[in-house]
Amino acid sequence: MDSNGSDTVITSKIAPVTRFKSDFMICVSIGRGRHKRMIAEYEWIAQQGIKLVELRLDYLTRTVDLHRLLGDKHCEVIATCRRREDGGRWKGSEEDRLMLLRSAIASGVDYVDLEGDIAHTVPRYGRTKRIVSYHNFETTPDDLAELHSELARRDADVVKLATMANCVEDTFRMMELVKNSDVPTIGICMGDLGTPTRILQGSWGSPLTFASIDSERTMAPGQVGWKEMLRLYDADNINADTNLFGVIADPVGHSYSPLIHNAGFKHQQLNNRYLPFRVPPEDLDFFMENCQRMGIKGLSVTIPHKEEVMEYLTEIEASAHEIGAVNTIVFDGDKRRGFNTDYRAAMDCLMESVEHDASSDEPLRGKTALLLGAGGVCRAIAWGLRQRGANIIVTGRSPARAEALAASVGGNSIAWENRHDPEVDILINGTPLGMYPNLDQSPYDGRQLRAETTVFETIYNPGQTLLVKLARQKGCKIVTGVDMFIRQAAYQYKLFTGKEPPIAVMRQALARAVNPAQTWDATEAANADQDGDDEES
């Protein structure tokens, strides 16, 4: 792997004193253009209890002053100086970069990150441990095992591979590599497909994972902020006995399901974690056939998989089967059981808000409901409305889907442009119109609302959509997406754990997340601006 094709490994006469620590750590990467900003964040993050930071020397815009950076040691340090072809910002010569890495070792940093092709040119010295790494921002190579072996031969205390995930299978291949390695290995898949690999490193036997100091200021695609890593996922305490749950969707980054389920697990002191899994439609087959290898015990299912996922299940509850959509899966050995908690949650919310005859088998008889949309959530709500005797009208921007849903529940469909014509008692939005970040959109003209109408918004982010605001102005009764989201999640929680869900805790966690006043900015501590390329003072 050296420049002349030789496999020669150069080692120093000083033998390593210790191998890499066995305790799993979360390493926070810090990259700033100015020394004082990097030092401030280094000091601050150590005060938060972080035991290991990565100082990205390639981010500094002036000559690197190692004495200034490392003069006061706040916690253990990985020194990294990444070339541009490896995703870094180093602008100097390769000779100067190698000299800087050698100087960092001589300065006594705890760890140094060396790319595999140059590791043989930087001898081991003192107590500094060597992370020998490979980065690929385009793909996850087929020959992961061979790459790993080559890196390990470079006198590595730990091997690091960071590759771009282009399919779900890439993340599983990386998982198997880390689990089966005899050498301590960090195996990360970049991109949103690879987010779970960052969170689960400890449970696979990896010595550490990397997190950003701010979720809005990441150094690699898919990197997770340290607060999320520690406070949302409690990643440093995930182990081989942890029960994994998650949500599958495409996209998935907007989901608050991990927030509320993990809040419940923590409150009840359960060794469970709930993760986001982005699963593109073309990867659904592989994921469903292999997800239990990762230790997954249950899944929430959302767009676009609620209908397609049913073919992979061995058992489906009667209501979910009739609805034709599943939003919850529980794995029990060879059994894959499917449920629809959207239906239960939606009906609970509606029956609390709409006047009805509680003594009747069809308590909504005589009520007319208009569903905006024909996706999985509308299918669940339409089925519940039919069971309760309501007259159902369906409209959507896909006429064929609207017609099919209406026919399946004995209702009628109308064209999207005619949605304001019917006089309805219940208006249900099952479209994404108004969802973050498109906060200025509404699927229905507020001027057409009647005070007698109950408006049911299924979007929960934001908690107050434009439709909800317009309905309030008209004096309508309102069911928010937050109400339904918490209820359906509570039903899922009980299916996952067998325990009564801590609904108040889950609701409070969601309320904090959707409140803009709760947004955290890492620079509040360092009093720094957001530009990693700021000029040196």
Which residues belong to the active site?
Answer: 306
C-alpha to C-alpha distance for 300 and 260, rounded to whole angstroms: 13
Structure confidence at residue 528 (pLDDT): 34
Q: What is the predicted pLDDT for the residue at 527?
A: 36
The predicted structure's pLDDT at residue 515: 67
CA atoms within 13 A on the CB side of 164: 9
Predicted pLDDT at 141: 98
* Closest to 309 measured CA to CA, from 334, 272, 340: 340
Half-sphere CA count of 410, side-chain side, radius 13 A: 10
pLDDT of amino acid 18: 39
What tokens appear for 404 in the block? 């099919």
- Report in angstroms the alpha-carbon separations of 108 from 103, 111, 125, 294, 428: 9, 9, 9, 38, 63
Q: Which of 161, 173, 118, 111 is nearest to 136 (CA)?
A: 161
Q: What is the pLDDT of residue 115?
A: 98
- Fill in the DSSP letter of residue 301: E
Round to whole Å and give the CA distance between 390 and 522: 51
Mean pLDDT by 10-residue block, N- to C-terminus, for the chain (537 residues)? 40 38 86 97 97 98 97 96 96 97 98 98 97 98 97 98 98 98 97 97 96 90 95 95 97 92 98 98 98 97 94 97 95 96 94 90 96 92 96 96 96 98 97 91 97 95 93 96 95 98 96 62 36 38
DSSP type of residue 174: H
